[in-house]
């Protein structure tokens, strides 16, 4: 009997369109001989719309496992994961805590730093701090320029700016504040960008890293999804020792955040020092035609369809393990 897989996609975040593209790629990779696929679209307004692939499926089938393909807020941040936990359904990817931790850039940085994992120096601001008479000069002098300004809880580089002056900093904070009440300001790293794919539950493994070569100031939303001008180098052209260190740090960061299933860990390598910093963790990485998470595993010998199979296996394994846990006396 085919396994009934519900693919949840869309969502209320600024990454709605990316989610649609990722979901289509995943659905195309699900072998119809193994899986009975059920689409559940979440609209931009938050409506849930079950969409059967055939009339005989109906709109409300029983579900064996859920594959959330929701990037950003209200999907990758633990909210949907909590709902699925309450429903007692197995699901692909990180659980509630890891999803929430990885989504919040400030919380993740603090947690990684506590474990001795290198992160770029940062400061946290709040939207209301920059209303009224508050001056921006103390922030301008905090790290020196350039700086990066980011909404604390968002992905795909939405709302992120690279700034070189106080005036640019003020505008960047105003932009980031449109997407989150909490804002992270980081010291700008002049160097190279890398990504590393991690897969697994209790014994995660990392694929070989790739390098991102942006066509713009940094790897922003347009560079990722609009211009199609950024280049990737896979495998990354670095020493074996550097590649091994990135993989080690990726697995360590994954474990520190409590991730399961999958994640893409992003890195910065400072040109002046050669030091590697963990930039962020994406617990539901992209699965579009340009997304590097499946490409890194393909380079490691795992096809897209085999990767999707493995992610579903990991979801079911975790669910079976949790079934042995007592939740009452």
183-192 pLDDT, tens digit each: 999 999 999 9
Catalytic pick from 13, 22, 156, 157?
A: 156
pLDDT bucket at 14, cuts 50 / 70 / 90: confident
Same structural domain for residues 131 and 173?
yes
12-16, 44-48, 128-132: segment of lowest average pLDDT: 128-132
3-state secondary structure of 246: helix
Catalytic pick from 39, 247, 264, 318?
A: 264
3-state secondary structure of 233: strand
First-to-last C-alpha distance (Å) of the chain: 36
Same structural domain for residues 134 and 67?
no
Which is higher by pLDDT, 50 or 157? 50
CB proximity list for 63: less than 8 A, separation 6 or greater:
4, 5, 6, 38, 89
CATH code at 181?
3.30.1490.20
Catalytic: 156?
Answer: yes
Which is higher by pLDDT, 137 or 167? 167
What's the domain count of the chain?
Answer: 3
Same structural domain for residues 218 and 112?
yes
Catalytic: 15?
Answer: yes
Is residue 327 in some structural domain?
no
Same structural domain for residues 109 and 229?
yes
265-274 pLDDT, tens digit each: 999 999 999 9
Catalytic pick from 266, 279, 291, 318?
A: 266
Q: Residue 251 carries which DSSP code?
A: H
Catalytic pick from 9, 286, 291, 318?
A: 286
The two tokens of residue 155 are 């992905």
Owning domain of residue 69: 3-93
Is residue 328 in some structural domain?
no
DSSP 176-229: HHTT-SEEEEEEPP-EEEEEEEEEESSS-EEPPPEEEE-SSSSS-HHHHHTS--
Catalytic: 64?
Answer: no
pLDDT at residue 326 in the model: 75
Q: Is the per-residue pLDDT at 219 higher than 90? A: no
Q: Is the per-residue pLDDT at 53 higher than 80? A: no
pLDDT at residue 229 in the model: 67
16-25, 97-106, 225-234: segment of lowest average pLDDT: 225-234
Q: Is the per-residue pLDDT at 55 higher than 80? A: no
Cα–Cα distance, 150 to 157 (Å, whole number): 8
| 3-10 vs 65-69, strand pairing mode | parallel
Mean pLDDT across the stretch 174-200? Answer: 94
Catalytic: 313?
Answer: no
Residue ending a domain, among 187, 208, 237, is: 187
Catalytic: 264?
Answer: yes
105-143 pLDDT, tens digit each: 999 999 999 999 999 999 999 887 765 445 677 888 888
pLDDT at residue 142 in the model: 84
Mean pLDDT across the stretch 77-99? Answer: 96
Mean pLDDT across the stretch 209-219? Answer: 79
Share of the chain above pLDDT 90, in %: 73
pLDDT bucket at 155, cuts 50 / 70 / 90: low
Same structural domain for residues 219 and 292?
yes
Catalytic pick from 11, 12, 15, 208?
A: 15
Q: Is the per-residue pLDDT at 60 higher than 60? A: no
Mean pLDDT across the stretch 78-85? Answer: 96
Catalytic pick from 35, 219, 225, 254?
A: 225
Same structural domain for residues 290 and 203?
yes
Catalytic pick from 77, 211, 260, 280?
A: 280
In this structure, are residues 92 and 68 in contact, taking their beta carbons and an 8 Å threshold? Answer: yes
Strand order in the sheet with 161-163: 122-126, 182-187, 147-151, 161-163
Same structural domain for residues 43 and 69?
yes
The size of the chain, in residues, is: 329
Q: Please report where in the chains the tokens 């955040």 appear, as a residue.
A: 257
Cα–Cα distance, 67 to 228 (Å, whole number): 27
Same structural domain for residues 67 and 175?
no
Mean pLDDT across the stretch 89-99? Answer: 97
Beta bridge partners of 41: 9, 49
Catalytic: 280?
Answer: yes
Same structural domain for residues 233 and 300?
yes
Catalytic pick from 13, 19, 157, 282?
A: 282
Q: Is the per-residue pLDDT at 296 higher than 60? A: yes
pLDDT at residue 132 in the model: 45
Same structural domain for residues 33 and 67?
yes
Mean pLDDT across the stretch 5-14? Answer: 93
Mean pLDDT across the stretch 83-94? Answer: 96
Q: For residue 203, how many other CB atoms are within 10 A of its CB?
A: 7
pLDDT at residue 81 in the model: 97
The two tokens of residue 159 are 């709302």
Same structural domain for residues 213 and 178?
no
Same structural domain for residues 248 and 304?
yes
Q: What is the mean pLDDT of the chain?
A: 90
234-258 pLDDT, tens digit each: 999 999 999 999 999 999 999 999 9
pLDDT at residue 218 in the model: 57
């Amino acid at each position: 009997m085919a396994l009934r897989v519900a693919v949840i996609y869309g969502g209320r975040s600024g990454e709605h369109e990316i989610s649609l593209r990722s979901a289509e790629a995943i659905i195309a990779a699900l072998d119809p001989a193994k899986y009975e696929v059920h689409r559940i679209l979440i609209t931009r307004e938050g409506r849930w719309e079950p969409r059967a692939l055939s009339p005989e499926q109906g709109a409300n089938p029983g579900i064996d496992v859920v594959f959330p393909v929701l990037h950003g807020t209200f999907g990758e941040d633990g909210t949907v994961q909590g709902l699925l936990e309450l429903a007692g359904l197995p699901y692909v990817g990180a659980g509630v805590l890891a999803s929430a931790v990885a989504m919040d850039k400030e919380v993740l940085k603090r947690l990684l730093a506590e474990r001795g994992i290198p992160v770029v120096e940062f400061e946290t601001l709040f939207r209301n701090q920059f209303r009224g008479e508050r001056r921006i000069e103390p922030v301008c002098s905090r790290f020196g320029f350039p700086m990066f300004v980011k909404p604390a809880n968002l992905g795909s580089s939405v709302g992120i700016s690279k700034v070189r002056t106080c005036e640019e900093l003020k505008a960047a904070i105003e932009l980031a504040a449109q997407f989150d009440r909490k804002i992270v300001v980081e010291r700008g790293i002049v160097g190279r960008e890398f990504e590393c794919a991690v897969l697994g539950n209790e014994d995660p493994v990392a694929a070989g890293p790739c390098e991102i070569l942006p066509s713009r100031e940094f790897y922003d939303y347009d560079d990722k999804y609009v211009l199609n001008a950024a280049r990737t180098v896979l495998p990354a052209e670095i020493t074996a020792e550097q590649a091994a260190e990135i993989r080690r740090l990726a697995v360590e960061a994954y474990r520190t955040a409590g991730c399961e299933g999958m994640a893409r860990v992003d890195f910065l390598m400072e040109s002046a020092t050669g030091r590697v910093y963990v930039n962020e963790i994406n617990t539901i990485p992209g699965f579009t035609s340009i997304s590097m998470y499946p490409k890194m595993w393909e380079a490691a010998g795992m096809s897209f369809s085999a990767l999707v199979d493995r992610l579903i296996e990991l979801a079911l394994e975790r669910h079976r393990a949790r079934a042995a846990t007592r939740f009452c006396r």
